[in-house]
């Protein structure tokens, strides 16, 4: 069960602050975060099975992230990969609202999803299980595998903890600590999941500054939550 904690224009220094966990089968072929060869302006990890990504940014400060919607698989399965949704926004130039209107028109071609997109001016959310586009006003949000700001404990807890980090200027290590919280209860209800076959395979922090600076760090994990590699990037938005 993935988790995205999001601060939209939380203070004068930040356009966007994101702390996110990707939960996946460890065996799924995946490329670590980096600048893509075929889309050189995109910085993201890559799903090598379907070709898209779960979260990424561009050199112009565009951001996109997707989570699955928890439900029984529909029959027949829709034909398209949800990783295309993030890639389409990152590779293109459409404004968030316009892009999501096009996504809405093709929503039945995907299994259930939640999608967040931002171009630095507007940040919007859409789920094909809710069917409406929401523009996110300044504030703190939490998303897992239900609708935005659902009442799941890790979402409620994460939003509150994220808001408390405003006084520290959203320190990177403190943001990762939110993602590593195991909480109480059964493993799949926790923020950080660690089992033998399925769990948090990547934790990512993205900070897009009001001055045009971007900080991106991804920390990867092996089965049972064993630390693996770290990818860290800092750059200035182009154009």
Mean pLDDT over each residue of the chain, to the nearest integer: 95
What pTM did the predictor assign? 0.96
What are the sequence ranges of the domains in the chain?
3-236
pLDDT tens column, 64-86: 999 999 999 888 999 999 999 99
CB 111 within 8 A of CB 78: yes
CA atoms of 56 and 65, how far apart (whole Å): 7
Per-residue confidence (pLDDT) for residue 74, from 0 to 100 = 85
In the Cβ-directed half-sphere of 28, how many Cα atoms lie within 13 Å?
21
The CATH homologous superfamily for domain 3-236 is: Penicillin V Acylase; Chain A (3.60.60.10)
Residue 61 pLDDT exceeds 90: yes
Which of 223, 165, 214 minimizes the C-alpha distance to 5?
A: 165
């Amino acid at each position: 069960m993935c988790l995205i904690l999001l601060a939209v224009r939380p203070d004068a220094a930040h356009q966007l602050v994101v702390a996110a966990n990707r939960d996946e089968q460890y065996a799924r072929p995946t490329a670590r975060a980096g600048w893509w060869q075929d889309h050189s302006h995109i910085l993201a990890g890559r799903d090598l099975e379907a070709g898209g990504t779960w979260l990424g940014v561009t050199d112009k400060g565009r951001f996109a992230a997707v989570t699955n919607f928890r439900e029984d698989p529909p029959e027949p399965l829709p034909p398209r990969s949800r990783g295309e949704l993030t890639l389409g926004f990152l590779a293109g130039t459409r404004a968030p609202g316009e892009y999501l209107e096009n996504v809405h028109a093709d929503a039945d071609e995907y299994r259930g999803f939640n999608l967040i997109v931002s171009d630095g001016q507007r940040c919007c959310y859409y789920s094909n299980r809710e069917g409406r586009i929401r523009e996110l006003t300044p504030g703190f949000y939490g998303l897992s595998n239900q609708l935005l700001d659902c009442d799941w404990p890790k979402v409620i807890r994460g939003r509150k903890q994220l808001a408390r980090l405003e006084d520290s200027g959203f320190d990177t290590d403190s943001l990762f600590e939110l993602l590593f919280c195991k909480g109480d209860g059964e493993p799949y209800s926790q923020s950080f999941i660690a089992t033998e076959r399925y769990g948090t395979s990547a934790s990512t922090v993205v900070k897009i500054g009001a001055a045009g600076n971007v900080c991106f760090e991804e920390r990867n994990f092996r089965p049972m939550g064993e630390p693996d590699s770290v990818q860290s990037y800092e750059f200035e938005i182009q154009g």
